[in-house]
């Protein structure tokens, strides 16, 4: 499937964003957003500001399949941006998540030469997203017990050097001295 990733034009596309976020179930996100909560977030520039960029995931014909929200972009100099990925239920399981994560990884590393790493966190039971992270070269770096609404959360990242080389630098899980 041919996909396009296009910056969401707010406020012009507010209604489409509200419809996407309130018209789907998001089993691995905190509750279902309401029309009012999304409208308020749009009005507060929560989807488009110097620290946040949001993009549609669209078919070649322009049908919205989901969205990517990049945030913490101000951390690029001394940290790492994060992202939220949402794909409509009818579009899940078709490789769109992998295409989206590969796109955003390239977009961030090519757009911000100083960026050293990109991070993402998902619930332990979101096996599809965990598989996407692994397929896109992200490594598991953390396991947070009961950190996400009573569920464990898993933290992944990719380093620029690994993205460039195509080789993963393993995490040293045995760095504590033994007594």
Q: Look over the chain and give the mean of its residue pLDDT values, rounded to a whole number.
A: 93
Decide if 98 contacts 132 (C-beta within 8 A): yes
Decide if 120 contacts 157 (C-beta within 8 A): yes
pTM of the model: 0.93
Q: What is the DSSP letter of 149?
A: T
pLDDT, tens only, 28-77: 887 789 999 999 999 999 999 999 999 999 999 999 999 999 999 987 87
> For tokens 């409509």, what's the residue?
88
Position 79 scores a pLDDT of: 79
All structural domains of the chain with their residue ranges: 3-165
* 3-state class (DSSP) for residue 128: helix
Higher-confidence residue of 4 and 80: namely 4
Task: Say which range, 75-79, 86-90, 108-112, 117-121, has the weakest mean pLDDT.
Answer: 75-79
Second CATH level (architecture) for the domain 3-165: 3-Layer(aba) Sandwich (3.40)
Report the alpha-carbon distance of residue 16 to residue 10 in Å, rounded: 10
pLDDT at 179 over 80: no
Report the alpha-carbon distance of residue 17 to residue 13 in Å, rounded: 6
pLDDT, tens only, 29-39: 877 899 999 99
* 3-state class (DSSP) for residue 84: strand
């Amino acid at each position: 499937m041919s996909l396009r990733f296009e910056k969401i034009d707010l406020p012009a596309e507010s209604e489409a964003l509200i419809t996407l976020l309130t018209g789907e179930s998001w089993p691995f996100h905190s509750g279902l957003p309401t029309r009012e909560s999304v409208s308020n977030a749009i009005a507060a520039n929560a989807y488009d500001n110097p620290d946040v960029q949001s993009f549609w995931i669209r078919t070649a014909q322009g049908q919205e399949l989901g969205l990517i929200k990049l945030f913490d972009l101000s951390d690029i100099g001394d940290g790492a941006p994060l992202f939220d990925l949402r794909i409509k239920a009818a579009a899940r399981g078709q490789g769109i998540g992998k295409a989206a994560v590969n796109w955003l990884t390239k977009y961030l590393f090519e757009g911000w030469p100083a960026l050293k790493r990109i991070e993402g966190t998902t619930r332990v039971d979101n096996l599809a997203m965990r598989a996407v992270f692994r397929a896109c070269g992200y490594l598991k770096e953390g396991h947070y017990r009961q950190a996400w609404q009573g569920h464990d959360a898993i933290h992944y990242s990719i380093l620029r050097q690994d993205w460039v080389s195509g080789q993963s630098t393993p995490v040293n899980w045995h760095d504590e001295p033994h007594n």
